[in-house]
Chain A
Amino acid sequence: MRMELRLAGEGGQGLITAGIILAEAGAKYTDLNVVQTQSYGPESRGGASRADVIISSDEIDYPQVKNPDVLVVMAQEASDKYLQSVKNGGTVIVDTTYVKPVPEAESQRLKVIEFPISAKARELGREIAANIVALGLLVETTGIVPKDAAVAAVLDRVPKGTEELNKQAFAAGVEAAKAL
Chain B
Amino acid sequence: MAKNQARLLQGNEAVVEGAIAAGLRFFAGYPITPSTEIAEHCAAKLPVAGGKFIQMEDEIASMAAICGASLAGLKSMTATSGPGFSLKQENLGFAVKGEIPCVVVNVQRVGPSTGMPTSTAQGDVMQARWGSHGDHEIVALCPASVKEAFTLTVEAFNIAEEYRTPVVLLLDETIGHLREKVILPSKEELVVKDREKPNVPPEQYKPFAMDQGRIPGVPPLAAYGEGFKFHVTGLTHGEDGFPTGNPAIAEKQLRRLNEKISSNKKALCKVEKFFLEDAEVVIFAYGATARSARKAVRDARAVGIKAGMLRPITIWPFVEDALLEVKAGRPKAVIVPEMNLGQLVLPVKSVMGDSVPVIPINKLAGQLITPEEILSAMKEAV
- Which A positions have Cβ atoms within 8 angstroms of B? 20, 23-24, 26-29, 31-42, 60-64, 66, 146, 148-149, 152
Q: Tell me which residues across on chain A come within 8 A of B178, comparing CB atoms.
A: 35-37, 63
Say yes or no: B118 contacts A28, CB within 8 Å: no
For the complex, what is the distance from the CA of A111 to the CA of B52, rounded to whole Å? Answer: 53
A157 CB to nearest B CB, Å: 10
The 3 closest A-B pairs by CB, nearest first: A27-B181, A61-B295, A27-B8
B136 CB to nearest A CB, Å: 34
Say yes or no: A62 contacts B295, CB within 8 Å: yes
Say yes or no: A28 contacts B6, CB within 8 Å: yes
B105 CB to nearest A CB, Å: 20
A130 CB to nearest B CB, Å: 22
Q: Tell me which residues across on chain B come within 8 A of A32, comparing CB atoms.
A: 181
Which B residues from 169 to 202 make CB contacts under 8 A with A? 174, 177-181
Say yes or no: B292 contacts A62, CB within 8 Å: yes
Q: Tell me which residues across on chain A come within 8 A of B270, comparing CB atoms.
A: none
Given A27-B7, A27-B8, A42-B118, do A35 and B180 touch, yes or no (CB 8 Å)? yes
B3 at the interface (CB under 8 A from A): yes
Say yes or no: B8 contacts A64, CB within 8 Å: no
A17 CB to nearest B CB, Å: 12
Majority secondary structure of chain A interface residues (helix, strand, loop or mixed): mixed
Which residue in chain A gives the minimum CB-CB distance to B114? A42
Say yes or no: B1 contacts A148, CB within 8 Å: yes
Q: Tell me which residues across on chain A come within 8 A of B3, comparing CB atoms.
A: 28-29
Contact of A24 among B8, B291, B370 (CB under 8 A): B8
Given A61-B291, A62-B295, do A37 and B177 touch, yes or no (CB 8 Å)? yes
Q: Tell me which residues across on chain B come within 8 A of A33, comparing CB atoms.
A: 181
B246 at the interface (CB under 8 A from A): no
Q: Tell me which residues across on chain B come within 8 A of A61, comparing CB atoms.
A: 291-292, 294-295, 298, 371
Which B residues from 1 to 54 make CB contacts under 8 A with A? 1-4, 6-8, 33
Q: What 10 new A-B contacts, CB under 8 Å, besides A29-B3, A62-B371?
A: A23-B179, A27-B6, A29-B2, A34-B181, A35-B181, A37-B177, A37-B178, A42-B117, A62-B294, A62-B370
Which residue in chain A gives the minimum CB-CB distance to B179? A36
Q: Tell me which residues across on chain B come within 8 A of A23, comparing CB atoms.
A: 8, 179, 181
Could you name 10 residue pairs across A and B whose Cβ atoms are closer than 8 Å? A20-B8, A28-B4, A28-B8, A32-B181, A34-B179, A35-B181, A36-B179, A37-B177, A60-B180, A63-B178
Given A40-B118, A42-B33, do A26 and B1 touch, yes or no (CB 8 Å)? no
B152 at the interface (CB under 8 A from A): no
For the complex, what is the distance from the CA of A49 to the CA of B5, rounded to whole Å? Answer: 31
Say yes or no: B7 contacts A28, CB within 8 Å: yes
B79 at the interface (CB under 8 A from A): no
Q: Tell me which residues across on chain B come within 8 A of A35, comparing CB atoms.
A: 178-181
B77 at the interface (CB under 8 A from A): no
For the complex, what is the distance from the CA of A41 to the CA of B181, rounded to whole Å? Answer: 25
Which residue in chain B gives the minimum CB-CB distance to A32? B181
Say yes or no: B118 contacts A29, CB within 8 Å: no
